[in-house]
């Protein structure tokens, strides 16, 4: 596995530069954006394991970025930062899937610990999904008969929680190839993205 990739989104350059420096020294692969719209474009073009975003930014704020990111990349880990602690915002952030809510300024140690804890938690959840995968396979077998062999391989890895980048490494293909197969899978299953697939799986587990 390669380095964990992190995207920092903050309209304050000093914070972006400082975080990049700290996290690169911790052996993370780090990129940054000064606004949420550019961050969304970056998500479409590259893989990120974790996003660290400020809440209050010009234009689209961090909570809306969280919402849009989770719609298309539900497996991504998301940390929100704010200089103004607000319980309602924190509750909303967690409801939307934020792994943590960090009040600025925070120490280097606190930031590193929050990242490590959040990544560990998501890894544990993915492991739990892998353990339950045989049950899912039985439920979904009837839907898989019209997928090609390669689509099935991509599909199995995707529902286990793997990112496009990890699937590409596992199957020894490029990320664009994985995205091509995923588009075919979404079309055949009548959904628009990973979120739709996860809803199908969730609904089948309720029975």
Based on the fold, state whether residues 21 and 55 are members of the same structural domain.
yes
Handedness of CA 65, 72, 2, 111 (dihedral sign): positive
Residue 59 has pLDDT above 50, yes or no: yes
* Strand partners for 8: 32, 52
pTM of the model: 0.61
Please, which pLDDT band fits residue 207 given cuts at 50, 70 and 90? Answer: very low
Collect all residues with Cβ–Cβ distance below 8 Å to 133 and sequence separation of at least 6: 156, 159, 160
Based on the fold, state whether residues 201 and 102 are members of the same structural domain.
no
Please, which pLDDT band fits residue 17 given cuts at 50, 70 and 90? Answer: very high
Of the residues 127, 153, 186, the one at which a domain ends: 127
Provide the domain count of the chain.
2
d(CA 93, CA 99): 9
Q: What is the pLDDT of residues 104-120, one digit of tens each?
A: 878 889 889 988 888 88
Q: 133-154: string of b/e by CB count within 10 Å (b at 16+)?
A: beebeeebeeeeeebeeebebb
What radius of gyration, in Å, describes the C-alpha atoms of the chain? 18
Q: How far is CA 67 from the centre of its chain?
A: 11
Collect all residues with Cβ–Cβ distance below 8 Å to 46 and sequence separation of at least 6: 5, 31
Of the residues 111, 127, 143, the one at which a domain ends: 127
Closest-CA residue to 201 (of 150, 155, 149, 166): 155
- Give, for 9, the enclosing helix (H) or strand (E): strand 5-9
The answer to whether residues 22 and 112 touch, using CB atoms and an 8 Å cutoff, is yes
Based on the fold, state whether residues 105 and 141 are members of the same structural domain.
no
Residue span of the structural domain in which 154 resides: 132-205
- How much is the mean pLDDT over the chain? 81
How large is the average pLDDT for residues 117-146?
Answer: 59
CATH number at residue 70: 3.40.50.2300
Residue 138 has pLDDT above 50, yes or no: no
């Amino acid at each position: 596995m390669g380095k964990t990739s992190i995207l920092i989104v903050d309209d304050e350059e000093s914070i972006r530069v400082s975080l990049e420096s700290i996290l690169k020294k911790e052996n993370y692969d780090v990129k940054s954006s000064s606004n949420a719209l550019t961050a969304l474009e970056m998500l479409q073009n590259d893989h990120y394991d974790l996003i660290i975003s400020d809440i209050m930014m010009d234009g689209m704020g961090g909570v809306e970025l969280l919402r849009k990111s989770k719609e298309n990349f539900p497996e991504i880990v998301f940390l929100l930062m704010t200089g103004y602690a607000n319980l309602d915002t924190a509750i909303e952030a967690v409801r939307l899937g934020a792994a943590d809510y960090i009040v600025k300024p925070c120490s280097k140690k606190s930031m590193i610990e929050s990242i490590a804890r959040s990544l560990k938690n998501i890894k544990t959840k993915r492991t739990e999904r892998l353990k339950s995968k045989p049950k899912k396979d039985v439920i979904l077998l009837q839907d898989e008969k019209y997928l090609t062999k390669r689509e099935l391989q991509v599909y199995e890895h995707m529902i286990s929680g793997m990112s496009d980048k990890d699937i590409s490494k596992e199957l020894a293909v490029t990320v664009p190839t994985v995205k091509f197969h995923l588009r075919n899978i979404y079309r055949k299953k009548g959904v628009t993205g990973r979120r739709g697939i996860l809803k199908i799986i969730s609904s089948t587990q309720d029975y």
